Amino acid sequence: MQTRPLKTDGLTQQILEAGTGPLVLLIHGFPELGISWRAQVEALAAAGYHAVAPDMRGYGGTDKPAGADNYTALHLVGDMVDLVRALGATECVVVGHDWGAPIAWHCALLRPDLFRAVAGLSVPFQPRRPGGPPTPAMAVLSKRAGLGDLYINRLQAPDAHLAFDADPATALRKMFWSYDGATSDADQSTGFLPPGVSMLEQVPDRATLPPWMSPEHFADYVAAFTAGGFEGPVNWYRAMDLNWSLTAFLQGRMIHPPALFIVGERDPVRHYSGAHEAGMADWLTDLRDRTVIPGAGHWIQQERPDAVNAALLSFLDAVSAQRGSKS
């Protein structure tokens, strides 16, 4: 594996890559980096693929434009289109985890000519819904159910990133621990916050690193977020309502490339994305498989690398074989 900067039309992106062959892009989520895909980059490269995991816009070694209006889904899909071109490819398979999953889904939705297959981890495809932007609707539903505030609504505040910036090591440790499959039900986050309690205050100070996270790996995260801050990553959340306003042209549109969904059985995100997970087949016309990994939490490609690698390689090999038979 090597790490290098790559200049694209829109910005300079830092990528982790290995292997030669058909291109596979691996898109990380919050609060992660391209290094969260190390096990997949290694396995895919060994299997004959060119595996590339970028630090996404706002993260790590990639440029960090100012302002939430520079972090829309259209910008992020555009970054991936630029990256494919800069890598000298004309098509690829795109895989996304957490926030990377919606970007991967939208890559396949907007450019099925370029992104020939798609896999989403942890976060199912969520189609644009009529009736207004998402965050006000989330706030109403949370209040009606008596669940408190969904953390996504709290992150809309212009100063929401400052609490993370104040102590990146503690913030990262608490977030990784509270969404991990090894953490008890009582300590896992539900995504909902009581009035007056912040996202980090809700997680007890006794939170430790998850079993899969070595001190050396964690140090890489802490160094990157200490240097780059959390404002860019949080801007992905702040652009959600803008995304809705910019994507009216996608209303009712389905995803047609071959698709795969992988989720951890104990992923806390399922508390607020379960309905979308159950309805994915209505929107993905070629959903090949929906894999639930027993006992796994949210950081699935790091918690259960062997299971994720097996599912991805089976999907990739089947897609490649099908395309070969048609050519």
Among candidates 227, 312, 301, which has minimal Cα distance to 35? Answer: 301
E-only strand ranges, the chain: 2-7, 12-18, 23-27, 50-54, 92-97, 115-121, 149-150, 192-193, 259-264, 287-293
Rounded Cα–Cα distance for residues 26 and 98 (Å): 11
Backbone angles phi and psi of 184, in degrees to 5: -65, 160
Rounded Cα–Cα distance for residues 124 and 278 (Å): 9
DSSP 63-90: ---SSGGG-SHHHHHHHHHHHHHHTT-S
Give, in order, the Cα–Cα distances in Å from 300 to each of 22, 87, 120, 275: 24, 27, 11, 20
> What tokens were used for 118?
């798609």
Q: How far from chain centre, in Å, is Cα 264?
A: 14
| Signed CA dihedral, 143, 174, 51, 228: sign only | positive
> What tokens were used for 200?
């980090």
Rounded Cα–Cα distance for residues 73 and 57 (Å): 11
Judge whether 28 counts as a catalytic residue.
no
Q: What angle do CA 155, 158, 162 make, to 5 degrees?
A: 75
| Signed CA dihedral, 255, 268, 152, 305: sign only | negative
Selecting among 98, 149, 180, 267, the annotated active-site residue is: 98
For the annotated catalytic residues, the residue numbers are 98, 298
